[in-house]
Amino acid sequence: MTSTKIEFDVIIIGAGMAGSTAGAIAARNGQKTAIIERAQTPGGKNYFGGALYTHALQEIYPDFWDRKPPLERPITETGFWFLSEDGVVKATVQGGKINNNPIDAFVAQRAEFDAWWAAQAEAEGAFIIPKTLVTDFLYENGRVVGVQTDRPEGEVYAPVVIITEGVNNLLTQKLGLIDHDLKPERTALAVKQLISLKPDLINSRLGLVDIDHGAALSVVGDVSMGLPGLGFLYTGKRSISLGVGVTLDALREARIKPYELLQRYLEHPAIAPIIADGQLMEYGAHLIPEGGWNDMPTLFTDGVLVAGDAAAMVNAIHWEGTNMAIIAGKEAALTAVEAHKKGDFSARTLSGYRTRLKDRFILKDLRQYRKMSAFLHKNPDFMDIYPSFLNDAMGQFFTGFGKPKREVYRDILRSLTGRRSLFRAAGDIISLGRAVLGI
Ligand SMILES: Cc1cc2nc3c(=O)[nH]c(=O)nc-3n(C[C@H](O)[C@H](O)[C@H](O)COP(=O)(O)OP(=O)(O)OC[C@H]3O[C@@H](n4cnc5c(N)ncnc54)[C@H](O)[C@@H]3O)c2cc1C
């Protein structure tokens, strides 16, 4: 008995944010599209902080809101919390631009959202193949012509393969599109808990008006114990998501276990009362590729395109990853459609993908922030010194009652110079500015 060759126009590896977007766009443009996903259902192996961004969701589905997406709270308050050992300075914003209609960012649970996002791709005509691991590529005359999966007789053919395999980019490495494994100094391990809590308690503890108001906080300082990293807090409708992400090499050098870091964060006096009496719903760890520009693989080769975390498309400072994955998935799919029109799947034709990305925020931002992870790596005490100084300074300013104010300012200055000389502090500001502006 001879088995029939399974053929598609486009194969996509992974039904995450990038993969299901690429699948929807390719199918919408008439391509016979397969999305191969190793998990039982799309999203089954995924979680994040985290927020999804309206601009990207609406770019793919202009009628996004009519589709009744499974989102949690809109983010109506956002900003930084700077933790010292026993205090917090809060710098958050609400109202004004944050009040756009629709709101710019929404909290989501990925297990639920990814399954829904994949179902939208399916409705466009993409064929989802779950519970299937892509293990290798199929070649003809040295060019990729499909993928090998872990199913019996699991060869699937297509002239274009879009790799959207996420942060563990083993297949991208296998093709030689990048010459190194994840770099421990530019890869963060994020550990998080999802804690269920009554909506009224979430609202009263975080000062939110009702279930239609939500907070997204980046937490800096004592949360990472002086290591290069960030904490986060996001409010769902009936849950709070809290986590910490720190680079792998810093964790190893400091011999700190990620769950100890998380536990310490959850016990912080500014955090513990917020989650008191909550029930643990989910606990897990996930990698974040923070290398961005420096760890980007070659984005295309004959018959292949790479998008999303697999291509290190994450801006960790702004928590932007899903929107980059969605837009890159879309641009990869449109490039594949163009290649089909031309009947040419060479790297030359597929290089149009890079040109498309250059016009978007993705390559612009990743290039601009290319020095950021090296900056944080070289200046880990940045994460410790300034948040604790800020707490001291604000504390002194607002308790200097009955004291000559010149003394208050002198004490504030001393609290800085006790940590960092003025010369080094000025240097820190200049270095931070250069890292942010990419100059
Ligand atoms: C703790 C944390 C918080 C975050 N917070 C935010 C946030 O607030 N906002 C934001 O925008 N981003 C955030 N991110 C980043 C964001 O989650 C990612 O950038 C985004 O999910 C990348 O999408 P992707 O499609 O490239 O990869 P993924 O969503 O990881 O999808 C990859 C898919 O490929 C599948 N797969 C992998 N290998 C194979 C294979 N060989 N065969 C078949 N299937 C395979 C996986 O199972 C998975 O479904 C956060 C990340 C973490 C870890």
Question: What per-residue confidence (pLDDT) applies to 382?
Answer: 80
Atom 30, ligand 1: which residue's CA is nearest?
Answer: 166
Tell which residue, 77, 31, 86, 28, has the closest CA to residue 51.
77
Q: How far is the CA of 309 from the centre of ligand 1 (A)?
A: 6
Ligand 1 neighbour 268 (Cβ under 6 A): no
**Could you tell me the two tokens for 67?**
């589709």
Does the beta carbon of 156 lie inside 6 Å of ligand 1?
no
pLDDT for 92-104, tens place per residue? 999 998 989 899 9
| Pair 121, 17: CB distance under 8 Å | no
- For residue 74, report the distance from its CA to the centre of ligand 1, in Å: 21
Cα–Cα distance, 121 to 127 (Å, whole number)? 8
| b/e per residue 68-98 (b: at least 16 CB within 10 A) | ebebbbbbbbbebbbbbeebbbeebebeeeb
Looking at this protein, which amino acid is placed at residue 353?
Y
Dist. CA 145–CA 266, nearest whole Å: 49
Chain centroid to Cα 156, Å, comes to 30
pLDDT at 2: 57
Amino acid at site 106: F
Report the distance separating Cα 425 and Cα 404, nearest Å: 26
- Helix, strand, coil % in the chain, rounded to nearest 5: 40, 25, 35
- Site to probe by mutation for ligand 1, drawn from 36, 37, 48 as the one with most ligand atoms within 8 Å of Cβ, is 48
Residue 153 CB contacts under 8 Å (≥ 6 apart), including other chains: 3
Give the residue with greater pLDDT, 2 vs 199.
Answer: 199
pLDDT of residue 75: 97
What pLDDT score does 44 carry?
Answer: 83
Q: Which residue has the higher pLDDT, 81 or 379?
A: 81
Q: What are phi and psi of 402, to 5 degrees?
A: 75, 10
Q: Which of 280, 289, 225 is nearest to 258 (CA)?
A: 225
* Residue 105 CB partners (closer than 8 Å, separation 6+): 51, 52, 53, 54, 74, 75, 78, 216
Distance from the Cα of residue 312 to its chain's centroid:
10
Instruction: Tell me the pLDDT band of 1, cut-offs 50, 70 and 90.
Output: low
Residue 368, H or E segment: helix 361-368
Torsion of CA 166, 169, 171, 173, to 10 degrees: 160
DSSP type of residue 48: -
- For residue 196, what are the β-bridge partners? 239, 279
Q: Choose which residue among 175, 296, 322, 357 to substitute to test ligand 1 binding: the one with the highest number of ligand atoms within 8 A of its C-beta.
A: 322
Determine the atom of ligand 1 nearest the C-alpha atom of 320. 11
For ligand 1, the distance from its centroid to the CA atom of residue 294, given in whole angstroms, is 19
Identify the residue whose tokens are 């959207």. 164
428 C-alpha vs ligand 1 centroid, how far in Å?
33
Over residues 36-81, the pLDDT tens digits come to 999 999 988 788 879 999 999 999 999 999 999 999 999 999 999 9
How big is the CA angle at 151 (ends 146 and 157), to the nearest 5 degrees?
Answer: 15
Q: What is the pLDDT of residues 301-360, one digit of tens each?
A: 999 999 999 999 999 989 999 999 999 999 999 999 999 999 999 999 999 999 999 989
* CA–CA separation, 251 and 28 (whole Å): 44
Give me 282's structure tokens.
Answer: 């989910």
Report how far Cα 374 is from the mean position of its chain's Cα atoms. 19
Domains of the chain: 6-72+108-181+294-359 (3.50.50.60), 184-289 (3.30.9.90), 373-437 (no CATH)
Q: Separation of 390 CA from ligand 1 center, angstroms? A: 34
* C-alpha neighbours within 13 Å on the C-beta side of residue 150: 11
